[in-house]
Structure 1
Amino acid sequence: MSHPDKITVNEKGLSITNGSYEALMEWAEIFRIHYSRCESELYVDRGLIFDYENGEFVEISDTAEGWDTLLDNLERYLAMEDSTWRQKIADCPNETVITIYVNDRMFQPECVNTLMIGDAPPGDGTFFFNGDSVLLERVKEAFAAALGEDVPEDHWDFLHFFRSREWFLVHLCSRSVKEMPEADRLQVRQQSVARLAQQIAAHRPLSIVCLHGDSKPWVLSALQLSGVEVERCVFVESPADNDKDSFVNELAEIVRQSAV
């Protein structure tokens, strides 16, 4: 008689046990999380796939004991930038694998030369470090325009290239503010200044590139609060607020200057 997997979750990580077998995973070691659904008349296979950066992975079926507890704790222990991840699981088409989490620290260089600061993650379920956002596509185009054939076309390869050039992305606001009333957006931005200042202080970049004009007062406040002196702080309107070509051209010029 087979035994179902049992999931145990705590603040350090999770374990999956089956009889004498046990797999341990720490939250900090998780690189990506995917949801997979494959159903037919003969079998049903649904669950999560946890990737390590070295290519190894662990699969957990939704029939495992503790499945609901695992889902309820993902946002508690991981920075799930995509607020629609539960709905994406519910709507996942058959024979499909979708990505619901990427640990952006895996793309963080040891030394950040240029810190790119966005206003907030998009509210459509995409995200720069998920490899599927409009911003990622435009940034990749700007790097290609500035640096030529050395820039990878594949999104995941580009994110590693982005890290190798000592660039990193953070946001003023940790959640999307696009649908908020103006007064609420202003309040959230103001409340986010201290957190952004801590991030700037932690990375100590030489340059800052701000991608949203509306964020400028709060980014400057955070920079002052951080105590970090940067060589330059420039502002480029994001693709959402400006035409694509202007954004790509402006950012490409900044990339060229940083490469000198």
Structure 2
Amino acid sequence: MGHTDKITVNDKGLSIAHDSYETWIEWAEIFRIHYSRFESELYEDRGLVFDYENGEFVEISDTAEGWDALLDNLERYLTMEDSTWRRKMADCPNETVITIYVNDRMFQPDCVNTLMIGDAPPGDSTFFFNGDSVLLEQVKESFAIALGEDVPEDHWDFLHYFRSREWFLIHLCPRSVNEVPEADRQRVRQQNIDRLAQQIADHRPSSIVCLHEDSKPWVLSALQLSGVQVDRCVSVESSADNDKDSFVNELAEIVRQIAL
């Protein structure tokens, strides 16, 4: 990973000034961000890799001037789904690359027909649109049961298929609630009703699928606040954590009904 001279951050993006040229990255263009660590007795190579959707990427070394300011501003300008991303960078094993950010808008259809609403991201460094979460595997299985052999097996291919069917996933809570005491989770959900209502208003779906029975009252409140009239608003009653088979089969039936 080549070393850079200076990083400058503003509300539009960041610039990386090298010896003879400057690279500009807009926040909206970033598809994924990875952290990599490769160290030996001969060298140390740590830093971030910024991916574009077309496969191009930009590498930034942690030796660059402005590195700390860049990290301090990531959460200001990007939605970092995993609140522990800094800790995961610090604990990253040698000779490893970890993903700390995925721009889910890259998988957002131009017109959202069905809005799937989860309670919160898992908080274990996996994420639906990163192609590595348990929920993604369960949703893919549900689609395969409902729609048959045309559903791709590959996770990334399925995410593009999911988009082509005009489905999209968002969460009531933008951050994981795993570390939030159970007694405080209702308060956190309540605090996010206005944000969810705005997202529903922005997408204006025909159908809403609530993935967690626990969050259903807040989803319904957000839907009412949004002013959007939907054809259906349904929820999966079984828990994906406690009864995976029932969750998958219930969701498959919902997918089948929406596809009719």
Q: Does 1:72 align with 2:72?
A: yes
Q: Which amino acid aligns with 1:165?
A: R
Greater Cα offset, 85-94 or 124-133 = 124-133
Q: Tell me what 2:112 maps to.
A: 112
Large movers: runs of 4+ above 6 Å: none
Q: Tell me what 1:231 maps to.
A: 231
Q: Tell me what 2:13 maps to.
A: 13
Q: Tell me what 1:175 maps to.
A: 175
**Alpha-carbon displacement from aligned partner over 1:149-203 (angstroms, at most 9, x marks no partner):** 2222222221111111110111111222233234421111112111111111110
Q: Tell me what 1:86 maps to.
A: 86
Separation in 2 of the partners of 1:242 and 1:236? 13
Cα distance change, pair 179–97 in 1 and its aligned pair in 2 (3 A): closer
| 1:237, distance to aligned residue in structure 2 (A) | 3.5
Unpaired stretches in structure 1, ≥5 consecutive residues = none
The percent identity for this pair of structures is 85
Q: How does 1:25-44 map to 2 (within 5 A)?
A: 25-44=25-44
| 1:259, distance to aligned residue in structure 2 (A) | 1.9
Question: Do the aligned partners of 1:121 and 1:175 also contact (CA within 8 Å) in 2?
Answer: yes
Question: Do the aligned partners of 2:3 and 2:63 also contact (CA within 8 Å) in 1?
Answer: no
Greater Cα offset, 45-54 or 146-155 = 146-155
Q: Tell me what 1:216 maps to.
A: 216
Provide the alpha-carbon RMSD of the alignment: 1.7
| 1:10, distance to aligned residue in structure 2 (A) | 0.8
| 1:35, distance to aligned residue in structure 2 (A) | 0.8
Cα distance change, pair 92–182 in 1 and its aligned pair in 2 (3 A): closer
Separation in 1 of the partners of 2:139 and 2:171? 15
Residue 148 of structure 2 aligns to a residue in which SS?
A: helix
| 1:62, distance to aligned residue in structure 2 (A) | 1.0
Cα distance change, pair 149–179 in 1 and its aligned pair in 2 (3 A): same
| 1:20, distance to aligned residue in structure 2 (A) | 2.6
Greater Cα offset, 69-78 or 173-182 = 173-182
| 1:242, distance to aligned residue in structure 2 (A) | 3.9
Separation in 2 of the partners of 1:3 and 1:177? 37
TM-score of the superposition, structure 1-length normalised?
0.94
TM-score of the superposition, structure 2-length normalised?
0.94
Question: Do the aligned partners of 1:114 and 1:207 also contact (CA within 8 Å) in 2?
Answer: yes
| 1:126, distance to aligned residue in structure 2 (A) | 2.1
Separation in 1 of the partners of 2:9 and 2:237? 42
Question: Do the aligned partners of 2:122 and 2:178 also contact (CA within 8 Å) in 1?
Answer: yes
**Alpha-carbon displacement from aligned partner over 1:96-143 (angstroms, at most 9, x marks no partner):** 111110001111111001000111112322221222221111111111
Greater Cα offset, 13-22 or 35-44 = 35-44
| 1:60, distance to aligned residue in structure 2 (A) | 0.6
| 1:239, distance to aligned residue in structure 2 (A) | 4.4
Residue 83 of structure 1 aligns to a residue in which SS?
A: coil
Residue 110 of structure 2 aligns to a residue in which SS?
A: coil
| 1:147, distance to aligned residue in structure 2 (A) | 1.9
Q: How does 1:69-218 map to 2 (within 5 A)?
A: 69-218=69-218
Unpaired stretches in structure 2, ≥5 consecutive residues = none
Residue 111 of structure 1 aligns to a residue in which SS?
A: coil
| 1:3, distance to aligned residue in structure 2 (A) | 8.2
Question: Do the aligned partners of 1:210 and 1:234 also contact (CA within 8 Å) in 2?
Answer: yes
**Alpha-carbon displacement from aligned partner over 1:180-239 (angstroms, at most 9, x marks no partner):** 234421111112111111111110101000011111111111111111111111110464
Separation in 2 of the partners of 1:178 and 1:71? 24
Separation in 1 of the partners of 2:47 and 2:124? 23
Q: Which amino acid aligns with 2:250?
A: E
